């Protein structure tokens, strides 16, 4: 399972649990909160009505006096109220009054006059000077039929002479509770959705940052050119740290590898130079050497010295290219101009070998983005390589042609071609084949330099045998 998915699932579980807990808490608190508000309102109403009922209770006309008449008249009143979208047309209440013994002396419903309510909590507690209230089911089998009863004492001075109770069904506030619960749940779902969306974006961002760093690390491990991915915050700092570590490690490995390879490759020419020098040294006491032999050994020293110089120059050039991860300031480069300049630089060397260079450029603009110097050196290396394997008085062909969104640079010869066993290795560092004219070998760095330059420009390099004999080296680069 990918880390982004793990982060998202963990975040999802946390958000889901938090949302569920909050929803349950809010929903659970809505019902008691609304009922508490209703109870507070009933307490005020009961005390106001208790004061209004005092005179009729003392006069003994509580069931047929002005108080009773006004209360019964209220049932016919059309309230016509709109409470936050709920239409209220009539009063939903029941009001009853008991005397000091708890006997009902007035009932707005007209049902329980004369009954003993002294054992109900609302009456029992109020007659004893305490706050009296109860919630009782009107239908014992229906849990939703509860009625809230709130009582207030009727006093004659300091003496409690009766109790007035207001009863209101809890079902009258059920729509308000249900709507509040629905609002809480709806916004809870919206909040959870937003939180999950934020979590999804955050998980995607984290996964993307880590994925870029992982791909960068894999590319470094594979020895590929890779640039540090753009990242923010700690990921950017981590990328910079990885790049610094990579540079230092590669620098050490690069030096170790090149020192080892250079010493290995220099042994052969140094041995030839030392052997020739010993033979030319008159202090050895050997008989005088013939002039022809002396000239041959001097030429050998000169050739091996040139080979060492070329090897060092090419190694320095290759090291400069291999160490670069990207082109710092790529510009528009016309490959036709690059090819002409390379042909001019190689013309003298080719003429000394009796070779001709044929240049085929075409008229279409062939512009790439890159470094003109590196591209010119790569083409020169291809021309030199083709010249080394061409037959005497042969022709080296340099051709540029457009292929879709890319341009192909081809350098071909009519030599003996490349043996099959060598084709997979021609771009390896220090790998070289014997030249057909004298059996000597090059530094084996030219084609490696070409491949590195092509890769640095986002292209590829290849070397294959051509029909009719010879070989063709190609560099394919994307057009600008």
For 263-276, write each residue's pLDDT tens digit: 655 655 676 677 77
Buried b (16+ CB within 10 A) or exposed e, 436-467: eeeeebbbbbbbbbbbbbbebbbbebbbebee
> How many distinct structural domains can be found in the chain?
3
Compute the average pLDDT of residues 306-314. 62
For residues 320 and 315, what is the distance between their CA atoms, to the nearest angstrom? 8
For residue 139, give Cα distances in angstroms to 25, 142, 145, 253, 395: 29, 5, 6, 90, 113
Question: Which range scores top for mean pLDDT: 102-106, 140-144, 323-327?
Answer: 102-106
3-class DSSP assignment, residue 368: strand
Query: Which residues touch 242 (CB under 8 Å, ≥6 apart)?
Result: 213, 216, 217, 220, 228
φ/ψ of residue 96, rounded to 5: -140, 155
For residues 98 and 117, what is the distance between their CA atoms, to the nearest angstrom? 8
Report if residue 146 sits inside a domain: yes
**Res 387: pLDDT:** 85
Residue 230 sits in the same domain as residue 155? no
Q: Which residue has the higher pLDDT, 86 or 407?
A: 407
Residue 339 sits in the same domain as residue 283? no
Q: Which of 278, 305, 326 is the last residue of a domain?
A: 326
Residue 275 sits in the same domain as residue 306? yes
Residue 448 sits in the same domain as residue 417? yes
Residue 280 sits in the same domain as residue 234? yes
Indicate whether 298 pLDDT > 80. Answer: no
Q: Which of 269, 293, 326 is the last residue of a domain?
A: 326
Report if residue 4 sits inside a domain: no
Compute the average pLDDT of residues 119-139. 92
**Res 23: pLDDT:** 67
173, 184 Cβ separation under 8 angstroms: no
Residue 415 sits in the same domain as residue 465? yes
152, 72 Cβ separation under 8 angstroms: no
For residues 390 and 352, what is the distance between their CA atoms, to the nearest angstrom? 13
CATH of the domain at 314: 1.10.287.130
Buried b (16+ CB within 10 A) or exposed e, 44-82: ebbbebbeebbebbeeeebbebebbeebeeeeeeeeeee
**Res 164: pLDDT:** 96
3-class DSSP assignment, residue 214: helix
φ/ψ of residue 418, rounded to 5: -105, 130
Compute the average pLDDT of residues 118-146. 91
**Res 402: pLDDT:** 85
Report if residue 192 sits inside a domain: no
Indicate whether 149 pLDDT > 90. Answer: yes
Which residue stretches of 222-290 are H helix? 233-280
- pLDDT tier, 251 (very low <50, low <70, confident <90, very high otherwise): very low
For residues 316 and 430, what is the distance between their CA atoms, to the nearest angstrom? 13
475, 454 Cβ separation under 8 angstroms: yes
Report if residue 29 sits inside a domain: no
Mean pLDDT of the chain: 78
For residue 315, give Cα distances in angstroms to 121, 320, 327, 372, 402: 104, 8, 19, 20, 32
Report if residue 43 sits inside a domain: yes
Residue 322 sits in the same domain as residue 333? no
Instruction: Express each pLDDT in 23-72 by its tens digit.
Output: 676 666 667 777 888 889 899 999 999 999 999 999 999 998 999 999 98
For residues 142 and 145, what is the distance between their CA atoms, to the nearest angstrom? 6
Q: How much is the pTM?
A: 0.44
Which residue stretches of 366-469 are H helix? 372-388, 446-456
Helix, strand, coil share of the chain (percent; to 5): 55, 20, 30
**Res 282: pLDDT:** 67
**Res 131: pLDDT:** 94
What's the domain range around 333?
A: 329-480
Residue 367 sits in the same domain as residue 256? no
For residues 306 and 312, what is the distance between their CA atoms, to the nearest angstrom? 10
Question: Which range scores top for mean pLDDT: 142-151, 215-224, 341-350, 359-368?
Answer: 142-151
CATH of the domain at 413: 3.30.565.10
CATH of the domain at 110: 3.30.450.20
Indicate whether 256 pLDDT > 60. Answer: no
337, 401 Cβ separation under 8 angstroms: no
3-class DSSP assignment, residue 100: coil
**Res 160: pLDDT:** 94
314, 445 Cβ separation under 8 angstroms: yes
Report if residue 125 sits inside a domain: yes
Q: Which of 178, 205, 234 is the last residue of a domain?
A: 178
Q: Which residue has the higher pLDDT, 233 or 10?
A: 10
Indicate whether 179 pLDDT > 70. Answer: yes
The candidate with the shortest Cα–Cα distance to 310, out of 209, 442, 429, 404, is 442
Indicate whether 228 pLDDT > 70. Answer: no
For residues 295 and 280, what is the distance between their CA atoms, to the nearest angstrom? 10
Residue 279 sits in the same domain as residue 170? no
**Res 19: pLDDT:** 72
For residues 88 and 453, what is the distance between their CA atoms, to the nearest angstrom? 86
Report if residue 199 sits inside a domain: no
Residue 154 sits in the same domain as residue 289? no
Residue 163 sits in the same domain as residue 83? yes
Compute the average pLDDT of residues 71-96. 79
Q: Which residue has the higher pLDDT, 474 or 456?
A: 474
Report if residue 476 sits inside a domain: yes
Residue 50 sits in the same domain as residue 170? yes
Query: Which residues touch 350 (CB under 8 Å, ≥6 apart)?
Result: 356, 357, 383, 387, 396
């Amino acid at each position: 399972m990918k880390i982004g998915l793990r982060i998202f699932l963990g975040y999802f579980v946390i958000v889901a649990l938090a949302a569920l807990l909050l929803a349950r808490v809010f929903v659970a608190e809505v019902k008691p909160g609304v009922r508490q508000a209703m109870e507070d309102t009933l307490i005020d109403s009961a005390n106001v009505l208790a004061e209004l009922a005092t005179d009729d209770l003392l006069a003994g006309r509580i069931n047929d006096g002005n108080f009773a008449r006004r209360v019964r008249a209220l049932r016919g009143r059309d309230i016509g109220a709109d409470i936050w979208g709920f239409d209220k047309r009539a009063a939903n209440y029941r009001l009853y009054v008991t005397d000091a013994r708890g006997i009902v002396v007035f009932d707005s419903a007209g049902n329980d006059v004369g009954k003993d309510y002294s054992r109900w909590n609302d009456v029992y507690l109020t007659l004893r000077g305490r706050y009296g209230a109860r919630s009782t089911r009107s239908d014992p089998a229906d849990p939703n039929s509860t009625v809230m009863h709130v009582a207030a004492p009727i006093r004659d001075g300091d003496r409690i002479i009766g109790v007035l109770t207001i009863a209101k069904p809890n079902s009258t506030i059920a729509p308000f509770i249900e709507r509040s619960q629905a609002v809480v749940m709806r916004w809870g779902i919206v909040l959870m959705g937003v939180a999950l969306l934020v979590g999804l974006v955050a998980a995607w961002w984290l996964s993307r940052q880590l994925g870029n760093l992982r791909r960068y690390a894999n590319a470094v491990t594979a020895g590929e050119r890779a640039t540090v991915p753009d990242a923010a915050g700690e990921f950017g700092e981590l990328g910079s740290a990885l790049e610094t570590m990579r540079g230092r490690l590669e620098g050490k490995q690069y030096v170790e590898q090149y020192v080892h390879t250079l010493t290995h490759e220099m042994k052969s020419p140094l041995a030839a130079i030392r052997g020739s020098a010993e033979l030319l040294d008159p202090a050895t006491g050997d008989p005088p050497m013939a002039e022809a032999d002396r000239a041959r050994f001097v030429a050998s020293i000169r050739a091996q010295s040139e080979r060492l110089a070329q090897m060092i120059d090419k190694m320095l050039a290759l090291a400069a290219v291999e160490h670069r991860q990207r082109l710092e300031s790529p510009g528009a480069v016309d490959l036709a101009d690059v090819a002409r300049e390379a042909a001019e630089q190689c013309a003298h060397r080719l003429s000394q070998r009796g070779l001709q260079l044929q240049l085929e450029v075409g008229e279409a603009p062939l512009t790439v983005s890159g470094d003109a110097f590196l591209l010119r050196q790569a083409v020169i290396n291809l021309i030199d390589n083709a010249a080394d394997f061409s037959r005497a008085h042969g022709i080296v062909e340099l051709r540029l042609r457009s292929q879709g969104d890319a341009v192909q640079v081809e350098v071909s010869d009519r030599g003996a071609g490349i043996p099959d066993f060598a084709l997979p290795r021609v771009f390896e560092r220090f790998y070289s084949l014997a030249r057909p004219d004298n059996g000597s070998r090059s530094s084996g760095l030219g084609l490696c330099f070409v491949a590195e330059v092509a890769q640095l420009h986002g292209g590829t390099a290849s070397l294959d045998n051509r029909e009719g004999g010879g070989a063709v080296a190609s560099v394919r680069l994307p057009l600008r």
